[in-house]
Structure 1
Amino acid sequence: MNRRPSQLRRLALVVLSVLVLGGGSLGYVLHARHRGLPTATVDGSFSLAEPGLYYRDSATGQVARRSGTGGPPATGGPACERFYATGERALCLRKLPGIPARTQALVLDRRLREIKRVTVPGIPNRARVSASGNVLSWTAFATGDSYATTAFSTRTSILDLRTGYLIKSMEEIPLTIDGTRYHASDVNYWGVTFARDDNRFYATVSTKGRTHLVEGNLRDWSAKALRENVECPSLSPDDTRIAFKKKVSDDPAAPWRLYVLDLADMREHPLAETRSVDDQAAWLDDKTVGYALPGRDGRAADTWSTPADGTSEPRLLIPGGSSPAAVS
């Protein structure tokens, strides 16, 4: 039976998609474009166009914004469990109903319109977008729901919008520890943060009961461990320092403290925040980091800020807010 050229092209695309999707968990090319989808916000006028501090409102579950001019917050953003944004892109993580747990990662443009949607197993946990908005990462708890226990595992994904290439799980990235190629069945990644070149990144890897800060390279698809006891790294806007949480106690109720690491000399110093912070801190500017703590007065979370040099006391920034992201 003869087929027209258009039919043959469609058949070839189907065959190619099957081959690509069957290529394993390392990654695949996303062909869906989701064109013409409506805005992910409740109020279509809410967008990233206005500079300010964006955050998740614990009372509504929606993203809101505080501007530097004061006044009441702007509301009407998308509903998310975790949120992060730069000037060009936003990442909204939602927990889907049902069992087993699934996370829906929504990639949004500057007007908070959906441009891509990816569903992965697990509970929403961490979200990051590179400064350009081209590269995004998210972490979901595959099992468990707390880093304070050993009974958890995570799945961390990286999406490159320039190519549409998605790494559904980072666990197969070639890893070097102490100068030697490392292999282990318990390797676990979380908390990615990107450099401004959209190639270099940092993340946490755990194995054999230890956590390591790793530096990764997207072009070479490789990672090397730099030092131990670094979790949830967050790279400063000038690419020179990393804010992170460090385990300082075996008390499961208060195991961590926030630190900043200088990448030039690998020296670290504690921040003035002495409470245990289980969050991936966000740089609000070159001198200040923001983070969430369990809320007061029954709120799910509050956002606090503290100077990155370790001076001055923390201050309450957003009562009832989490997932802070400064957009200029």
Structure 2
Amino acid sequence: MTPKHRLLVLAVAVVLLGALGAGFVLHAATRADHKNAPRAGGPSVSAGRVPLTGAHRIAFVNDAPGPQNAQVATVPAGDTGGGRTAADLKCARFYAAAGTGVCLQSGLGVVSQTNRAVIVDASLHTEHTFALAGTPSRARVSPSGRFAAWTVFVGGESYGAAFFSTRTSIVDTRTWQLLPNLEEFTTVLNGNKYHAVDDNFWGVTFASDDDTFYATLGTGGHTYLMRGSVARRTLTSVGVQNVECPSLSPDGTRIAYKKRVLNGASLWHEYVLDLRTLHTTPLAEHHSVDDQATWLDNDTIAYALPHEGDVKSTDLWSVPADGSGTPHLLIRDASSPAPL
């Protein structure tokens, strides 16, 4: 190839790369414009203060398209369909209790994706940040606000994938001691110490004693409900299989969870487990729920389902915890509910 031909090839390559880069920028801008364009008939959203204290409000991540998309917002618990107030804090996942919040963020950095957990106070001011090892999945805060936990995907993209890997961490917000991986805890499964290369833990939910928590262990193609102790660094099986993303009731007597209804398929139904009798009750929601449910009170749970016609957005629904009644649309264009 002559020097003239090499220069011609180089010039063509530069033009093609420039066009490709412009295409990526235009595609990203188009997606951003779509995300920032309010949906006709959508909820009213206004910017303002969002304190994590005060009774009878529900905090959540605002999924409505517009400038407040992905921001933490609140609505009155008695008027969840009314206007919402959104703060300048964007999260992929969020939860709060007793004036402490955990916000899992996922964004594109200069070179790669940047994921972090942000612990905030009652005024949503940042208290501490932690780098995340993967994509945000689940987040919880203990009833006292002392402990926060999160789960991320470090391999695979969903719990329905054939192969996925998670990492679950717990932090003490008094001392900022981080327990980076529940896989480092001593695990007892069916009465015997257990460890396998495919161990995965996810979906922490805390009891009110600032020590006990529950989580899911996935190993060997099965999932188990595990009871953990922060102080002892232990996880012990409760004796119930096919339990994912547990959520402990406020009175500490029951676990809401998603149960896989078809082996190998991404289909889950919501159940409630009585921890005293280990009796399970199917709930009235018949859609597949891929979420960690939240107890609004001792009688009602809330969860996210894809928004009709838009799988990138979700709505929050509620259903009685005793298996009666019918599902009720709680908050449109929302996810990650946290009753304040």
Give the TM interval when normalised to the shorter protein. 0.7 to 0.9
Deviations 1:203-258 (CA, angstroms, capped at 9, x unpaired): 001111111100011111111111211000000001100000011113635x2100
Q: Distance in 2 between matches of 1:313 and 1:44?
A: 34
Call closer, same or farther: CA 1:220–1:83 in 2, change over 3 Å. Answer: same
Please say if residues 272 and 283 of structure 2, whose CA atoms lie closer than 8 Å, have aligned partners that are also in contact: yes
Q: Which contiguous aligned blocks of 4+ residues in structure 1 show a shift greater than 4 angstroms?
A: 98-102
Map 1:60-209 to 2 at 5 A: 60-70=69-79, 71-98=82-109, 101-209=113-221
Percent sequence identity is 44
Contact (CA 8 Å) 2:48, 2:85: kept in 1 or not?
no
CA distance in 1 between partners of 2:54 and 2:72 (Å): 13
What is the one-letter code of the residue matched to 1:212? Y
Is 1:214 the equivalent of 2:226? yes
Structure 2 vs 1, CA of residues 199 and 103 (structure 1 numbering), >3 Å: closer, same or farther? same
Kept in 1, the 8 Å contact 2:199–2:219? The answer is: yes
2:42 alignment partner in structure 1: none
Distance 1:266 1:184 in 2: 26
Please say if 1:296 is aligned against 2:308: yes
2:183 is paired with a residue whose SS is helix
Normalising by structure 1, report the TM-score.
0.83
Alpha carbons 1:89, 1:108 under 8 Å: kept: yes
Q: Secondary structure at the match of 1:257?
A: strand
Stretches of structure 1 that go unaligned for 5 or more consecutive residues are 1-41
TM-score, normalised via structure 2 length: 0.81
Match of 2:323 among 295, 310, 324: 310
Q: Which structure has the bigger radius of gyration?
A: 2
Distance 1:300 1:307 in 2: 24
Q: Give the structure 2 partner of residue 13 of structure 1.
A: none
The alpha-carbon deviation at position 304 of structure 1 amounts to 0.3
Q: 1:92-146: per-residue Cα shift (whole Å, max 9, x none)?
A: 0001314654421000011111101001211110000000000010001101111
1:53 aligns to 2:53 (yes or no): no
Is the CA contact 1:102–1:121 (under 8 Å) kept in the aligned structure 2? Answer: no
What stretches of structure 2 of length at least 5 have no aligned partner?
1-45
| Cα distance in structure 2, aligned partners of 1:43 and 1:290 | 25
The root-mean-square deviation of aligned C-alpha atoms, in Å, is 1.6
Does structure 2 conserve the Cα–Cα contact (< 8 Å) formed by 1:175 and 1:183?
yes
Shift of 1:162: 2.5
**Count of residue pairs the alignment pairs up:** 285
Report which stretch shifted further, 177-186 or 230-239.
177-186
Matched, 1:234 2:268: no
Structure ranking higher in helix proportion:
2
Q: Is the contact made by 2:217 and 2:224 (CA closer than 8 Å) also made in structure 1?
A: yes
Distance in 1, matches of 2:191 and 2:78, equals 50
Q: Is residue 243 of structure 1 aligned with residue 252 of structure 2?
A: no
Once residues 265 and 69 of structure 1 are traced to their aligned partners in structure 2, the CA distance between those partners, rounded to angstroms, is 33
Q: Deviations over 1:135-192 (max 9, x none)?
A: 0100011011111122211111000123221011111111001111012111110000
CA distance in 2, matches of 1:244, 1:143: 23
